[in-house]
Every structure is written in C-alpha cells, then in structure tokens.
C-alpha cells in the first residue's frame, strides 16, 4: 500500500532561494526501511537527504537520520539547520523555549534562533591535531598544488572525517581544480582569509567519498574550522564565512562563540512543500 509523507525541500545557508545548499526533508519517516531511506537519498541526488522520526533519547525534540547519495552520516550541519526549519514549519513545538534539541548519530545537538536565524552548537571534535606529512602529500596531489601552498592544517573530525588546510589567499582557493579520483577516502576542507569582502574567509569542501565531489555549503566543516580557528586565535569570536562561490552559489555561514559554545548559523528558505508517496 502506498504511504504518504510530508515533504519539504529547503535551501540552507542563504536568504535567497537557489543560492545555498538544498536539502530534502521527509517527515514522520519511522515506517520507512533503511533500504527505502537510502534509495530515496540516492534518487534525490542532493548532498544530503534527511528523515525526521520520533526521538528515543530523553530531552530530544526529534530524531534525525542523515543520508548522502552514498551512505548515512552521524552528523552534518546544513541538514541540522534545514531539518529544524522544516520541523518548525510543520508545527513542531520544542520542549524548551531556549533551543530545539535534535537527536542524531553524534548525540544531542542544540539549535537556537539567534540574530533572526537558526544556529547549531558545534559538537565536540572526535579527532583534531596536526595533519601528518603523508596525508598532506596526498592532499597536495589531490588539489594539484605544491606543498608550499598550505600555511596550516588540522584534522577536524566531527562525524565526517574532515581534514582541513589553509591557503594564503581567496583567489588560490577559488582557482583549485582538484583531481577527485586522487582523493580516495579523504574529505578535504580548504579555507583562506578574504580581504575587501563582507566575509572573513572563503571555504570549499571536497567529499567524493560521500558521492558529492564538491559540497556547496557545509555546516560540519564550518563548525570544525570555527573550533580550530577561534581556539588558536586565528579568527575573532564572531565572523562570517563564504562557501559555494566556485559553484555559482552564495552561501553565508555566521559563526559566533558564546561562552564555551561555538554556534554555526545560517538562513533557511523553504522552496518546496508537498508529500512523498512511496
């Protein structure tokens, strides 16, 4: 028997539709099998497709499962903001006024409304530290640059296995033409300072291992970058980052440290509302 599920498609990290990172959101998906979840995510062919389910942990408002075209993720940033926006648009009421609490593979993630937009608290890094020389050599080959191109590097594993490198200029980042086949299992984030722009950093994310060569705007990577840069004094406690420029997008990620937490914020636009029939 065909079942019907409420459906949203939203654009995340933008206040103008079609300029950010799209996300498919299926509500009340607890009746769908793992095979159906994965099949629908492959069919949408978006960076991520998410499924909202009742929570199973105390204190959570909803549970979220996150799929790329290739596999399920324990956490991702733009799905967190997009799913929360869709849940609220569908009438979701948080248990606490201060924040929505999302349950996902990394545990409970808080989402709040700040400065007129949603923001999530960056989850703890599961791995950090300097990148070893062998991995840096693989990254230079994959990005088709020399070893002198990077001025800093860091592991930023928070669900996805991000490894990040910093370049000197925004132009260098935008000029990259990676060899995706050479990346293997690497999930590479690249960042550089930006001058004479409204934003402080330009970011790109390359994740062929997830079935997406380049991700338009990436909350999990931006969260890891913020923890690294703010923690080491390489960025102020509040800044704006751009991502997606090389893909014709205009993603904007709002970063703010508030006490011990680092919040990753962005606007969300609902583009499509309807139902999924499977």
Q: Where are the domains of the chain?
A: 4-123+265-277, 127-249
4-123+265-277 and 127-249 in the same fold = yes
Confidence of residue 221 (pLDDT cuts 50, 70, 90): very high
What are the pLDDT digits (tens) for 222-255?
999 999 999 999 999 999 999 999 999 999 999 9
At residue 43 the predicted structure's pLDDT band, cuts being 50, 70 and 90, is very high
* Range 169-191 average pLDDT: 98
pTM confidence score:
0.97
**CB neighbour burial string for 181-206, b if at least 16 within 10 angstroms, e if fewer:** eebeebbbbbbbbbeeeebbbbbbbb
Residue 163, strand partner residues: 155, 188
pLDDT at 171 over 90: yes
Residue 21 CA to residue 242 CA, distance in Å, equals 12
203 forms beta bridges with: 191, 243
H-run or E-run covering 111: strand 107-114
The pLDDT, as a whole number, for residue 1 is: 81
pLDDT at 115: 87
Q: Under CATH, which number does the domain 4-123+265-277 receive? A: 3.10.310.10
**Crossing angle between the packed helical segments 77-89 and 219-231, to the nearest 10 degrees:** 120
Percent of the chain with pLDDT over 70: 100
- The confidence band for 114, taking pLDDT boundaries of 50, 70 and 90, is confident
pLDDT for residue 141 is more than 90:
yes
pLDDT average, residue stretch 114-123:
94
Average pLDDT over every residue of 27-47: 97
Q: Where are the alpha helices (DSSP H) in the chain?
A: 34-44, 77-89, 133-143, 170-174, 180-183, 219-231
Indicate if the pLDDT at residue 276 is higher than 90. yes
Measured CA to CA, the distance from residue 95 to residue 65 in angstroms comes to 20
* pLDDT surpassing 90 at residue 176: yes
Has residue 217 got a pLDDT over 90?
yes
The secondary structure of residue 148, as a DSSP letter, is G
Average pLDDT over residues 63-91: 97
- CATH class of the domain comprising 127-249: alpha beta
User: pLDDT value at position 250?
Assistant: 98
């Amino acid at each position: 028997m065909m079942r019907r599920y409420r459906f949203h498609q939203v654009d995340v990290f933008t206040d103008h539709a079609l300029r950010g990172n799209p996300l498919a959101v299926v509500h009340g998906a607890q009746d769908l099998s793992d095979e159906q979840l994965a099949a629908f995510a492959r069919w949408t062919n978006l960076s991520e497709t998410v499924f909202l389910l009742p929570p199973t942990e105390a204190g959570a408002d909803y549970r979220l499962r996150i799929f790329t075209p290739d596999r399920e993720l324990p956490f991702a940033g733009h799905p967190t903001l997009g799913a929360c926006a869709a849940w609220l648009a569908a009438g979701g009421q948080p248990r606490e006024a201060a924040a929505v609490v999302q349950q996902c593979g990394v545990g409970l993630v808080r989402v709040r409304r700040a400065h007129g937009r949603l923001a999530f608290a960056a989850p703890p890094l599961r791995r950090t530290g300097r990148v070893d020389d062998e991995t840096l050599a693989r990254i230079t080959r994959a990005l088709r640059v020399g070893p002198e191109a990077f001025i800093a590097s860091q592991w930023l594993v928070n669900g996805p296995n991000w490894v990040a490198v910093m370049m000197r200029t925004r132009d260098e980042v935008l000029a990259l033409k990676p060899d995706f086949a050479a990346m293997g299992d690497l999930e590479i984030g690249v960042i550089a300072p930006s001058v004479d722009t409204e934003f402080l950093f330009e970011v790109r994310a390359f994740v062929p291992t997830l079935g997406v060569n380049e991700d338009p705007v990436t909350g999990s990577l931006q969260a890891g970058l913020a923890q690294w840069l703010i923690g080491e004094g390489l960025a102020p406690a509040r800044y704006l980052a751009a991502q997606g420029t090389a893909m014709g997008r205009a993603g904007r990620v709002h970063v703010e440290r508030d006490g011990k937490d680092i919040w990753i914020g962005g606007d969300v636009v609902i583009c499509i509302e309807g139902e999924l029939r499977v």
